[in-house]
Structure 1
Amino acid sequence: MKNRVTELLRIRYPIIQGGMQWVGLAELASAVSNAGGLGVLTALTQPTPEDLRQEIARMHAMTDKPFGVNLTILPTINPPPYAEYVAAIIEGHVNVVETAGNSPKEFITLFHQNDIKIIHKCTTVRHALSAERNGVDAVSIDGFECAGHPGEDDVPGLILIPAAVRALQIPVIASGGIGDGRGFAAALALGAEGINMGTRFCVTQEAPIHQNIKQALVAATERDTRLIFRTMHNTARVFKNAISDEVVKMESRPGGCQFEEIRSLVAGVRGRAALASGSVQDGVITAGQVIGLIDDIPSCADLIERIVADAKQYLAKATTYFS
C-alpha cells in the first residue's frame, strides 16, 4: 500500500499498534513492525527512562523495521520525568512517537529536530485541530467505541472520522472499534489513511497477556464492556468483569463515590497482575467494543495480512454495487 501514512512512517501497511499500558512491550511491537505495520512500545509501562532505553534496545535487536513509542502526558500532581523519557526516545533512534493525553507542544520541535514523526491521539476534532496547529505530523482520532479513554463527547467513529478528515490537512488515522478487514475498508472509505488497533493486537499470539485473558476476550460480545469513571468525567471503557461491575455499582449510588473509595479496585498494579496471572475477574482489563468481532488468536503477521486482504475484497465488492 502507498499513501501519506505509509510514506510518513516508512511502513508497508498503514496499520498501527496502539500504545497500551502493560502490553506495549518489545515482543508485541516487534511482531507488528516485522509484519509490515508500526509496532509501538509504551513509555510509561517502563518504570524509569533507563528502563525505556533498555526496552528500545531490545526492540532494535528484534526488528530492523520502523517502530514507535507511545508517550502519554498525564495531568497529574507528580508527573513522571517526561523530559528524561523524551531523551531516551531520541537517544534510542526511534522513528515515531505516538503522543496522547495533554498536548505534546513543548516536545514537538525537539522531536522534529531528531527526525522523529509525531502522531497525536485525540478524541475530538477541536483537539485534533489544536494538535495540527502545534505541528504534529498526523492525528489518530479515537471514537467512542475504543478501549481506554474515549473522552466525554461520546462521538462514535462513523461520525468522528469523517469529521476529522474534513477539518484537517494532515493525515488522519482511524482508531476505536477496528479489528478486521471490514473495519479497515470502512476507515479508508471514511477518508482515513490508516488504522490504529489496540484491543485486536491484545488478542494475538505475541501479546504479553495471559492466555486466559485472551480467551475471555474471544468469548466476549460487543456488549461486554463497561464505562467506568463516568461520574468523575474521566470515562474509561474496560472489559466487563467483577471489578468493573463493582466500580459502576459504586458510581451509581446516590451521590456517586469518591476516587479514593475505588482506588484499590482500579489500581494499575492490580490490573497488571490480572493480565499476567490470567485472573479475569481480579483487575481492570482495558478492552473496546471490538471484542464482539474477535474470534481467534492469530499471529500478528497472519492478522495483518488477513486484514489487508479482506479490506481489498470488501472494497472491491462495494464497487460492484454501482453500475
Structure 2
Amino acid sequence: MRTPFTDVFDVEHPIVQGGMQWVGRAPLVAAVANAGALGMLTALTQPTPEALAQEIARTRELTDKPFGVNLTILPSITPPPYEEYRQVIIESGVKIVETAGSNPAPHLPSFHAAGVKVLHKCTSVRHAVKAQEVGVDGISIDGFECAGHPGEDDVPGLVLIAAAAEQITIPMIASGGFGDGRGLVAALALGADGINMGTRFMCTEEAPIHRNIKEAIVAGKETDTELIFRPLRNTARVARNTVSREVVDILNRGGRFPDVQALVAGSRGRLVFENGDTEAGIWTVGTVQGIIHDIPTVGELVERIVAEAEGLISRRLAGMLAPVSV
C-alpha cells in the first residue's frame, strides 16, 4: 500500500507508532520497524540525552529498518535540555523525528542540515498549516478521540482530517481513534496518507508495559476515558479511574493545578505501566480502546490491518460500484 507518506518517509506500510511516554522503547519500536511500519522512540522517556543514545543503539541491535524518535517540546520552568536531545538524535544517525508540543521551527535547520525528516504532530488545521509553512516534511493531525492532549477545539477526526486535507500538500497521517484496517481505509478516504496509532500499539505483546494494563485496554469501552485539565485549557484524555475522577472533581470545583499536582505526577503514571495497578495514577488511553479486543504481536497486528484495509478497498468498496454500461 503505497502513499506519499511511505514514499517520503521510506517505510513499507502507512502506519506509525507514535511516541508515547514510558512506552516508546526499543522492544516495541524495533518490532514496529520489523513489521514494515514506522516506530518512534520517545526521547523524554529517557532521563538524559546519553540514555537516549543508548536506547537508539539498543533499537539498532533489534532492527535494521528505519525508525524515528519523538521529541515533544513543551514550555516549562525547568525544561529538559532539548538541544542536547536533538544533537543526540542527529549524531546517532536517526533520519526521522516526530515533533510535538510547540512550534518546531527553531529545530528545523539543525535537523534538515543533517538530512533528518520531521513529522510534526498538530491538533488543529491552523497549526498544521503553520507547520507546513515553516518547512516540516509531514503532518500528523490529531483528532479529539486521541489519548493524551487533543487540543482545545474538540474537533473529531472525521471532520478534522478532511479539513486539514484541503490545505495540507505534504504527506499527512491521521491520529486519534485508529486501531484497525477500517480506520486506515477511512483515513485514506478522508485525505490522509496513513495513520498513527498509540493505544493500539500499547496493547501488543511487545509493548513494554504490564500485562494488566493491556488487559484493561481490552476490557475498556470507548466511554471509559476521562478528560482532565479542561478548566486549565490543557485538556488530556486519560483512563477513567479513581484518580482521574478526583482530578476532574477538584478542578470543576475551582481548584488549580497545585491542588492536583501530586495526583497527576508522572512518576505515578510510570508505576501504573510498571506494576500493573490501574488505580495507581493517571495513564493515557484513547477512545479506540472500545474496538480493541486482543493482544497480538506487533507483526500480527500490522499484517492484519494492512490485509483488512486491502480487502475493504478491493472487495467491499469496489463491489459497491455499479457496472458501467456501454
Match of 2:319 in 1: 320
CA contact (8 A) 2:141 2:174 kept: yes
Q: Report the secondary structure of 2:302's partner residue.
A: helix
Secondary structure of the corresponding residue to residue 251 of structure 1:
helix
Separation in 2 of the partners of 1:98 and 1:142?
13
- Aligned CA RMSD, in angstroms, stands at 0.7
Structure 1 match to 2:258? 260
1:280 maps to 278
1:39-76 alpha-carbon deviations (Å, 9 max, x no partner): 10000011110110111110111110000000000011
Query: Secondary structure of 2:139's match?
Result: strand
Match of 1:309?
Answer: 307
1:6-155 to 2 correspondences below 5 Å? 6-155=6-155
Q: CA deviation at 1:319?
A: 2.4
Superposed, which structure 2 residues align to 1:124-273 within 5 Å?
124-253=124-253, 256-273=254-271
Distance across 2 between alignment mates of 1:58 and 1:282: 30
Counterpart of 2:178, as a letter, is I
Structure 1 segments, 4+ long, off by >3 Å, are none
Which whole-Å CA distance do the structure 1 matches of 2:79 and 2:147 have between them?
Answer: 23
TM value normalised by structure 2: 0.97
Cα deviation for residue 9 of structure 1 reads 1.3
CA contact (8 A) 2:8 2:171 kept: no
Using the alignment, how far apart are the partners of 1:315 and 1:284 within structure 2?
39
* TM-score after normalising by structure 1: 0.98
| Secondary structure in structure 2 of the residue aligned to 1:139 | strand
| CA shift for structure 1 position 212 | 0.5
Using the TM superposition, name which of 306-315 and 20-29 deviates more: 306-315
* Conserved? CA contact 2:34–2:63, under 8 Å: yes
Measure how far apart 1:247 and its partner are: 0.9
Distance in 1 of aligned mates of 2:305 and 2:167: 28
Q: SS where residue 264 of structure 1 aligns? A: coil
Q: Which moved more, 1:20-29 or 1:244-253?
A: 244-253
Q: Counterpart of 2:150 in structure 1: which amino acid? A: P
- Rounded to whole Å, the distance in 2 between the matches of 1:47 and 1:8 is 31
Write the distance in 2 (CA, Å) between the matches of 1:114 and 1:15: 24
SS at match of 1:145: coil
Superposed displacement of residue 136, structure 1: 0.2
**2:317 is aligned with what amino acid?**
A
**Separation of aligned partners in 2, 1:61 and 1:95:** 17
Structure 1 gaps of 5+ residues are: none
Instruction: Name the SS for the 1:133 alignment partner.
Output: helix
Q: Read off the aligned partner of 1:257 and give its amino acid letter.
A: G
Q: Tell me by how many angstroms 1:107 deviates.
A: 1.2
Letter in 2 for 1:291: Q
Which region of structure 1 is more displaced relative to structure 2, 202-211 or 75-84?
A: 75-84
Q: Which runs of 5+ in 2 are unaligned?
A: none
Give the SS at the match of 2:71.
strand
1:252, distance to aligned residue in structure 2 (A)? 2.0
Q: How many residues are aligned here?
A: 321
Give the letter aligned to residue 165 of structure 2.
V
User: How far, CA to CA, are the matches of 2:117 and 2:172 in structure 1?
Assistant: 14
SS state of the match for residue 261, structure 2? helix
State the one-letter code of the partner of 2:193.
Answer: E
- How many angstroms apart in 2 are the aligned matches of 1:258 and 1:110? 38
Q: Secondary structure at the match of 2:40?
A: strand
